[in-house]
Chains A and B, each alone.
Chain A
Amino acid sequence: MDPVSSFIGWLAATPWSIALHESLYAYTVIEAAHVLAITLFVGTIAMVDLRLLGFAWREVPVSQMSARILPWTVAGFVVMFATGVLLFYAIPIRTWHSLWFRAKLVLLVVAALNIFLFHRRVERDRARWDAAPVPPLAARIAAAISLIVWFAVIVTGRMIAYNWFDCDKPQSALVQALAGCSSYPNDTF
């Protein structure tokens, strides 16, 4: 078995993982917090992206949106990430082999790259277009990618709950390869 699968298997066998999985309320409360924090995290990102696209908040300088709104986005991300890690920890094996979860991880990497490129390149000459109702094309593209990717993260996250592509059901060779079904343990539920 590959090291990652061994680690996931070990994680699933830890007492806290089992306790969380079997808990009556803890898992439910964490999941509710994960869903509701979308409003704080993606909600505030969406407003900043709409500003960068020139669709909303046109009278507010971009620097003001960043300084006043993005701290709330970061707070939202902290809640999302902490609760997300706990949700994974409660159900490690099935989640790791979920096609939707894997797609979500790829999307998160794309989102991170987009943020990195935006701050490194697009935002560098912000002083020139800070108050412009419609920012330059590069900024609008970054904002559009951000909106699309975060929306896709929400959808793939929601779809993890559906078992259409789970390894314990008959799957095509493609799904089996993408979900890593060869390392899916047979004796787990």
Chain B
Amino acid sequence: MSLYQQFAGVEAGRLGATIKGSLWLFPAIESVHLLALSVLGGALLMLDLRLLGAGLTLQPVSAVEKSARPWLLAALATMIVSGVLIAVSEAIKLYDKGAFWVKMTALAGALLFTFAVKNPLARRDISGIGARALGATSILLWLTVAIAGRWIGFS
């Protein structure tokens, strides 16, 4: 079965049909996605600003990483669950949108960078130019995810 057929199958499935058939489910899920976006942005910015030498500079980088982590994880989990529900309800449309694939690729990169590179180094209190590079890269990667996400609605 081709990828397109799989996408069409997901949209026609029970979950996709339920969300599509409801007047308020889609806007409600969208709203949850946006609320989680705000918390995710806050949690990411706290560490990224600190790495860039701004924000909570009186706290060690590792302490900021530790305090932000539960909110980062909770917001990410909410984003992914609500995002999957949105995607399931309009899978065929997404299949043809370049912005969707850009977002998924950037998301994979951002997640990998965050949990395999940035946060582990932050836990070791990285400083100097390396820290700044981490903060800047993180902001750029996540901004790409967010902009591509918004573009799905426009393109």
Contact = CB atoms under 8 A, between A and B. Distances in A.
Given A60-B56, A60-B67, A72-B49, A42 B30 contact: no
Interface string A41-52: 011111100100
A32 interface: yes
B37 A39 contact: yes
A43 B147 contact: no
A28 to B, nearest CB: 5
Interface of A: 28, 31-32, 35-36, 38-40, 42-47, 50, 56-60, 64-65, 68-69, 72, 150-151, 154-155, 158-159, 162, 164
Interface of B: 23, 27, 30-31, 34-35, 37-46, 49, 54-59, 63, 67, 70-71, 143, 146-147, 150-151, 154
Contacts of B71: 47, 50, 56
21 contacts: A31-B150, A32-B147, A38-B38, A39-B41, A39-B146, A40-B41, A42-B41, A43-B42, A43-B45, A50-B71, A56-B71, A64-B56, A64-B58, A68-B55, A68-B57, A72-B45, A154-B31, A154-B34, A155-B31, A155-B35, A158-B31
Contacts of A65: 56
A28 B154 contact: yes
Please classify the interface of chain A as helix (H, G, I), strand (E, B), loop, or mixed, using the class held by over half of its residues.
helix
B37 to A, nearest CB: 6
Contact of A68 (B40, B58, B63): B58
A47 B41 CA distance: 10
Given A35-B150, A60-B59, A44 B42 contact: yes
A72 B38 contact: no
Contacts of A60: 56, 59, 67
A186 B45 CA distance: 46
Contacts of A42: 38, 41-42
Contacts of A43: 38-45
A158 B56 CA distance: 31
A151 B53 CA distance: 29
Contacts of B58: 64, 68
